[in-house]
Amino acid sequence: MDGVQYKADNQTNELFKHNTGEASFVFHDYPQRAIVASIFIIASIVGTCGNSLVILAVILSRKLRNATNAFVVNLSCADILTSLIIPWNAVALLSRSGWPISPWVCSWAAGVLFLCVGSSLYSMALIGLNRLVLITRPKQMYNQIYNDKTLIIWIGSTWIIPFCIAIVPPLCKIGSLGYNSKYSSCSAQSTAPHTDIYDAIMALGLYPLPFVLIIISYVKIFLYVRSHTRTMTVRVSKDASNEAEKDMVVTIKDPNRSSTKDVFKKRQMQITKNMFYVVCAYFVCFTPYGLCLLIDSSDPAIPYTAALVLINGCINPFLYGTKHPMFKEVFKHMLRCNLNQIPEQSSLLRVFTGRN
């Protein structure tokens, strides 16, 4: 019955396009659908395993428990949920007779997918903002902005905002979520009322806002670092002009305090640079899809750009494992099963290894 129903939906969709003069693209090519479905399945497996490692690393090591990594864990949770949902899209793509099971499953899968992708985007934006405050503002201010209570609000916003953008409009009859016979996927339905408005809400709500926040955050970090570097260069030049005075200052001044501060700044800048790699992956993976939603003639590219969006959830754990020094260290011990070597072990891990 479901196959017959969605064949009828497909015919209705073709008739609608013919009457309105719109392009009659439908993702019928089964080999191409199989390729996209294979990408989805691989992304699901890799994304689930990789992001599970990120979350497990934070659970096992207290060294990774800070405000920034709270957003990283939230990002990984969103990416895991995405990875667990996308196989439903593979089912839709591989089915030759429309959606094979109950329609509500496809609607539910589309809603959760959009919600999780939106949460990932806003999590990355708030990571950039977090690094900006950490590097450019006093530590006391940072601790006030990112304490335990405010972190709940910050992280909650990464789910509430996408919910309002992706879920609320269909509940208000602006667009609809379910099986899309045009692309053979669980997403926004092409024939639903006000679909164009819903696509615009999604494209403008989920992409530009995080994009702007990320750009502002990292540009400000760059400008601050450049200004700080110039100030330090001038200060060193002035000190070098009077070697005797410099030696006296070094003797009197506590060298440990200065060096500790410099090491902290250097470490935070390295972490920020590594987080910027995550942002670069975000731009590469999300920009094509966001543009396709706004360009009517881009219909044939949408299945592939959507696959690129879902691949982003697989990339982040590899970036943490190869670029982030603290995650890299914990990952190394986890993958080698040397749990006793994990730095600053959590109480849970100490119980597991018999150290308590």
Distances (CA, A) of 252 to 88, 245, 248, 316: 68, 11, 6, 46
The mean per-residue pLDDT over the stretch 191-211 comes to 84
For domain 2-6+28-228+271-352, the CATH class is: mainly alpha
pLDDT tens by residue, 290-327: 788 777 777 888 888 888 888 887 887 777 767 777 88
Reading the block at residue 155, the tokens are 């992280």
pLDDT at 89 over 70: yes
pLDDT band at 20 (very low <50, low <70, confident <90, very high): very low
pLDDT tens by residue, 241-266: 554 444 444 444 444 444 555 555 56
Whole-model pTM: value is 0.79
With residue 91 as reference, give the H or E element that holds it: helix 87-94
Cα separation, 268 vs 151, in Å, equals 20
Taking CB atoms within 8 Å and a gap of at least 24, the contacts of 259-263 are none
Residue-level pLDDT at 294: 72
DSSP state, 177? E
Residue 252 sits at φ, ψ, to 5 deg, of -80, -40
Reading the block at residue 101, the tokens are 């099971």
Residue 95 sits at φ, ψ, to 5 deg, of -80, 130
Cα separation, 64 vs 281, in Å, equals 22
Q: What residue spans define the domains of the chain? A: 2-6+28-228+271-352
Residue-level pLDDT at 277: 75
Distances (CA, A) of 80 to 53, 83, 305, 322: 11, 5, 20, 20
Is the Cβ–Cβ distance between 107 and 64 less than 8 Å?
A: no
> How would DSSP label each residue in 295-330?
-GGGGGGHHHHHHHHHHHHHHHHHHHHHH-HHHHHH
Q: What is the mean pLDDT of the chain?
A: 80
